Amino acid sequence: MVALERAAFSVHQIGSVAFRRLLARNSALVLVCERGQEVLGHAVVLFRARSTVARLYSIAVQPSERGRGTGRALLTAVVEQARERGLSTLSLEVRALDAPVLSFYERFGFCFKARLPGYYDDGAEAVRLVLALTQGQRPLRRAS
């Protein structure tokens, strides 16, 4: 999983110490897609006490495995787990200029929530996207 983080992200990578902490926390969920001993993808979700918002902290698929449905399967499992906990919203940050990843989330139903200038260590802007998890909740409108 650490190797996958390195392959997938240039900054904000989760290292081995952080993964161990996350795995020990009740307020974090780590989902892994495996083939034999190989990690094909993982997703990390954070929960907060007294909050109905789950945060998708990381999702990554091995470069050689992308485009085969692994990311969608992981995200579907994340949504199921968050719904089982009775949460209302799944939130995440993504690089504002990462069109392919934005498209991945938009196809899944995420909506634009906010711009976050200078969010990343390299100064790049992020956008916050949200997915409504509860039935009957109206989708958010895209802000200008």
Q: Among all residues, which ones are annotated catalytic?
A: 93, 105
- Residue 8 within binding range of ligand COA, rule CB under 6 A: yes
Task: Show the site string, 76-105: x = touches ligand COA by CB under 6 A, - = not.
Answer: ----------------x-x-----xx-xx-
Tell the burial category of 16 from Cβ atoms under 10 Å away from its Cβ (0-12, 13-18, 19+): exposed
Per CB under 6 A, which of residues 25..64 are in contact with ligand COA? 59-61
Q: Give, for 113, the enclosing helix (H) or strand (E).
A: strand 111-116
φ, ψ dihedrals at 141, nearest 5°: -85, 150
- Residue 115 within binding range of ligand COA, rule CB under 6 A: no
Sort strands 89-95 and 126-132 into parallel, antiparallel or unpaired.
antiparallel
Gap between the Cα atoms of 95 and 75, Å rounded: 18
Contacting residue, 21, 25, 35, 68, with ligand COA by CB under 6 A: 68
**30-49: b (≥16 Cβ within 10 Å) or e:** bbebeeeeebbbbbbbbbee
Nearer to ligand COA, 60 or 79 (CB): 60
CB of 55 to ligand COA, least distance (A): 11
Nearer to ligand COA, 60 or 130 (CB): 60
> Contact residues for ligand COA (CB under 6 A)?
8, 59-61, 66-72, 92, 94, 100-101, 103-104, 107
